[in-house]
Amino acid sequence: MVTYREAMRQAIREALTRDDRAFLMGEDVGRYGGCYAVSLGLLEEFGPERIRDTPLSESAFVGAGIGAALNGMRPIVEIMTVNFSLLALDQIVNNAATLSYMSGGQFNVPLVIRMTTGAGRQLGAQHSHSLEGWYAHIPGLRALAPATLEDARGMLWPALQDPDPVIIFEHGTLYNIEGELADDAGPVDINTAAVRRPGDDVTIITYGGTMRTGLGAAEQLAGSGVSAEVIDLRCLRPLDTATIVSSVARTHRAVIVDEGWRTGSLAAEVSARIMEEVFYDLDAPVARVCSAEVPMPYAKHLEDAAIPQVADVVAAVQMLGG
């Protein structure tokens, strides 16, 4: 059995082994082994030149990563949480995402930024938000959300081959999940969504931490005779619109599950694309299940009430009728 964090560690080890230009940098990634123990043991294996502990300044070490990428290296930058990435927003949005376009393609930034996202761990509002939709809004970035062991293991290497910056969002509740992972598990496609469960009556569209919520809802709905197809977006920018609309055109109903806030959410973008592409195939309005529009609570019962749960998704499907 392999955990999600171990799959991520395998991916980093593979990258550092295959490419001498690759290195990991971030807060506590070395001697401490990473805030979520993803890089545990890598300092001893690869040394301080390849596993670099940084000062507590996201803007500084993300900027250093951009500079290293511009000079031919393949940096993997770890930011503890998506909330902390806001301290490096200028570097990510105004530098990493724009340099290729502004230089007419003369300069590429082959940088990978890994960050933990999401709630469900009672870490308070400063450590628990889902801001993936913010980054999915930015041209020049690729945004990935591995929700399975295979994707946790297989997304990093192809991300490092991308000439443009890639952000990998790792949901904090996934690190401890475990399952079987083939010994020869390798790179995965980072361009398309994945159908995690086929179905005929409704399409449940999810990503990251909400993918398991969507699967749980589909399992519960099956008990009442509703066949739900579950799509894992996986790549949030660019979105695989073709897979989404192909499924909805067949099931005629769609529910989008997004841990982000409803207003201006990634779920809103997916909903708009469905309406633009397959409006006349819909038998009911597109439904969205999102987080409550409050800073994420610390108290367990309030946190649970604020984020999408299986029962919320089931209720949304049932509201569509049919």
From 127, 129, 170, 259, active-site residue:
127
Instruction: Report d(CA 212, CA 275) in Å as an integer.
Output: 25
Find out whether 230 and 196 touch, Cβ atoms under 8 Å.
Answer: yes
Residues 6+ apart with CB under 8 A from 150: 7, 181, 185, 188
Instruction: Report d(CA 316, CA 314) in Å as an integer.
Output: 5
Nearest to 175 by CA among 112, 115, 109: 115
Nearest to 32 by CA among 43, 48, 45, 47: 43
Q: Is 293 a catalytic residue?
A: no
Find out whether 289 and 257 touch, Cβ atoms under 8 Å.
Answer: yes
From 58, 132, 229, 259, active-site residue:
58
Q: Is 58 a catalytic residue?
A: yes
- Identity of the residue numbered 122: Q
Quote the tokens at residue 66.
């951009």
C-alpha to C-alpha distances, 52 to 17, 23, 39, 59, 65, nearest whole angstrom? 16, 8, 11, 16, 11
Residues classed as catalytic: 58, 127
